[in-house]
Amino acid sequence: MIKIATDESDFLTLGKIEKIDKRTLVAGVGHRFWQDYSAGPAWIDRMKEIDWPEGLDVEDYSFGALAMTQNLQDVDYQRIVFLSAEARGRQPGTLHWYRYAAGEESPERVQAYVGESGGGVVAIDPLLSIAGHFGVLPPETWVIELEPIATKWGDEESRAIEANFSEVLQRMRRLLSGDAPTKVEVRRDA
């Protein structure tokens, strides 16, 4: 049994996870210069300092959903964990996770997201919608998401990104150790 870390230093001293059971991508999605919407890429930058096991890719996916979907077509991932921030009316500064199961989205909705993606929008919902539509997401697709506090254009993020990093690491360790939560929201549309 893998011990769940209580903070980042504890996580780093627990030792390397030697093996994971599924080819996994951990990808940060967000705008680097849009305050708390930079959470995904900021967490990925820090995660690249950790010695992850073979079979786990840690990548910054802060580019258009169409290009991200094409990247996902190139590798057969069995599990994907997206790190992001999205305002959904929850308590600001809190962390949430859910499993995404591609549903039947209308062609109009997918096409709208394709248009947004071509226009430079970088966000989790267009990625999930487009990648789900084209069938490139594995059944085990997770999103760890920050409810942002600071939401204006600029690089002054709130303390929420840093404050939640240890919790992101704890959730990553749970997912990688096969201890995924059984009672968690499952979203079927983006």
> What is the reported pLDDT for 18?
67
Cα–Cα distance measured from residue 157 to residue 145, given in angstroms and rounded to the nearest whole number: 15
Tell me the per-residue pLDDT of 79-128, one tens digit each, with 9 for 90 and over: 999 999 999 999 999 999 999 988 878 889 899 999 888 887 888 999 99
For the record, the structure tokens of 181 come out as 């939560």
Beta bridge partners of 25: 57, 80
pLDDT at 173: 86
- pTM for the full predicted model: 0.86
Domain coordinates in residue numbering, the chain:
8-12+20-140+176-187
- As given in the structure block, the two tokens for residue 138 are 């594995």
